[in-house]
Amino acid sequence: MSKMTVEVVTPERVVFSGEATMVIARGVQGELGIMPNHMPLVTPLKIAPVRVKTEGDKEVVLAVSGGFMEVRRDKVTILAETAERPEDIDVNRAKAARERAEKRLNERHPDLDVRRAEYALQRALTRMQVSGK
């Protein structure tokens, strides 16, 4: 089976770098499945898990918070605002962030930045989903 190089990079570090047979990510217009020799594209990403399928039916799942994905024939690069592997996620912190965001959205103070609260909630939910908790 053919492979491609995949890199997931944040401003702080390289979170994943390796060979893959497929990348599944959620772009702003829907879910994308990228395989080797895919047509070139650049797309913004939503806050959602990114799945990298590697050799032998193994899968690496990352919690990605926004950014962009660039696809070239043999390489996929994800430039993410944040990206975390399941073992790097502090589940208690993610739960607390979810509770804070839900509380803010339920109270609806006049000075509430709704978009920011929704962003925080989605990021916390994605982190919890990827961590498996």
Q: For residue 22, what is the domain's CATH number? A: 2.60.15.10
Distance from CA of residue 122 to its chain's centroid?
Answer: 11
CB neighbour list of residue 82: distance below 8 Å, 6 or more residues apart? 10, 63, 64, 65, 66, 123
**Do residues 79 and 104 share a domain?**
no
The answer, yes or no, to whether residue 73 has pLDDT greater than 90, is: no
**Do residues 72 and 8 share a domain?**
yes
Number of domains forming the structure of the chain: 2
Please answer whether residues 6 and 20 qualify as being in contact, where contact means their C-beta atoms are separated by less than 8 angstroms: yes
pLDDT tens per residue across span 38-72: 999 999 999 999 999 998 889 999 999 989 999 99
**Do residues 58 and 101 share a domain?**
no
**Do residues 58 and 26 share a domain?**
yes
Q: What range does the domain containing 97 cover?
A: 90-131
Q: Residue 10: what pLDDT?
A: 96
Q: Residue 133: what pLDDT?
A: 60
Of 78, 74, 79, 90, the residue nearest 124 (C-alpha):
90
**Do residues 11 and 66 share a domain?**
yes
Euclidean distance between CA atoms 131 and 20, whole angstroms: 21
**Do residues 78 and 103 share a domain?**
no
Q: Residue 57: what pLDDT?
A: 80
CB neighbour list of residue 21: distance below 8 Å, 6 or more residues apart? 1, 2, 3, 4, 35, 36, 53, 54, 55
Q: For residue 98, what is the domain's CATH number? A: 1.20.5.440
